[in-house]
């Protein structure tokens, strides 16, 4: 079975005013759809067909640029859509074990937010900022260029992404033009912390 473009769990306009509907629609139906189609093309006539996207990324030959760019683009956007949700109007912060671990690692949620935001703001050109977790639940922040991600061998902090922020201009240019820091700030209103916490919990070993 080829990889399929997933539906979004919310409507294109439901992330406004932080992410606008037109950007969301183009991002999903053009960019993510493009990575999906090119991923399937890159897998055609290879013995990698049938593997999960995670298996493909973990065993990736980084010299295979079409597969690297499009397997990354496919996985990264799947994750990005999942960890967003419409704004609630109230303060948007994590809770429970995830918040405890953030406090332990970064000192406070504000300190985490500053470090993550600076990491995202200083990605040169196109790329992603990540919050990752080990299988012991330890957190780390890193970034990667282009459509790379920390599941790929030797990329980023070598843990599993539980939160990702797309800082390609296609993710924000219509609404924010060159103001990437404003887009990063807006992102914090849209994070689905329940999903992020579940992703971390799913990694924990017994």
Q: Which residue reads 């409507």 in tokens?
A: 11
DSSP symbol at 5 = P
Q: Taking Cα atoms as reference points, which of 181, 171, 178 lies closest to residue 23?
A: 171
Taking the complex as a whole, the smallest distance from the CB of residue 82 to Mn ion amounts, in Å, to 14
Per CB under 5 A, 148 contacts Mn ion: no
Per CB under 5 A, 166 contacts Mn ion: yes
- Site map (CB under 5 A) of Mn ion, residues 167-196, x = contact: -x--x-------------------------
Toward Mn ion, which CB reaches closer, 131 or 139? 131
- Cα–Cα distance between 163 and 176 in angstroms, integer? 22
Residue nearest to Mn ion (CB): 166
As beta bridge partners, residue 132 has 140, 161
At residue 127, the 3 state secondary structure works out as: strand
Phi, psi of 109 (to 5 degrees): -65, -40
Taking the complex as a whole, the smallest distance from the CB of residue 96 to Mn ion amounts, in Å, to 30
Taking the complex as a whole, the smallest distance from the CB of residue 126 to Mn ion amounts, in Å, to 9
Toward Mn ion, which CB reaches closer, 168 or 187? 168
Q: Which of these ranges, 17-25, 101-109, 165-173, 179-187, lies near Mn ion under the rule CB under 5 A?
A: 165-173
At residue 82, the 3 state secondary structure works out as: helix
Chain contacts with Mn ion (rule: CB under 5 A)? 31, 166, 168, 171
């Amino acid at each position: 079975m080829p990889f399929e473009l997933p539906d979004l769990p919310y409507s294109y306009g439901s992330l406004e005013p932080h992410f606008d509907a037109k950007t969301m629609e183009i991002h999903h139906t053009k960019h993510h759809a493009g990575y999906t189609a090119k991923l399937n093309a890159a897998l055609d006539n290879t013995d990698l067909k049938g593997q999960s996207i995670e298996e493909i990324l973990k065993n990736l030959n980084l010299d295979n640029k079409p597969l690297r760019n499009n397997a990354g683009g496919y996985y990264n956007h799947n994750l990005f859509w999942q960890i967003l949700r419409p704004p609630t109007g109230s303060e948007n912060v994590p809770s429970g074990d995830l918040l405890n671990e953030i406090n332990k690692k970064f000192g406070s949620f504000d300190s985490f937010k500053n470090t993550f935001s600076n990491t995202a703001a200083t990605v040169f050109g196109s790329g992603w900022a990540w919050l990752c977790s080990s299988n012991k639940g330890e957190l780390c922040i890193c970034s990667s260029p282009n459509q790379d991600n920390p599941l790929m061998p030797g990329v980023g902090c070598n843990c599993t992404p539980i939160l990702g922020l797309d800082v390609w201009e296609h993710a924000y240019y219509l609404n924010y033009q060159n103001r990437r820091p404003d887009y990063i700030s807006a992102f914090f209103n849209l994070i689905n912390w329940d999903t992020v916490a579940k992703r971390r919990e799913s990694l924990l070993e017994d």
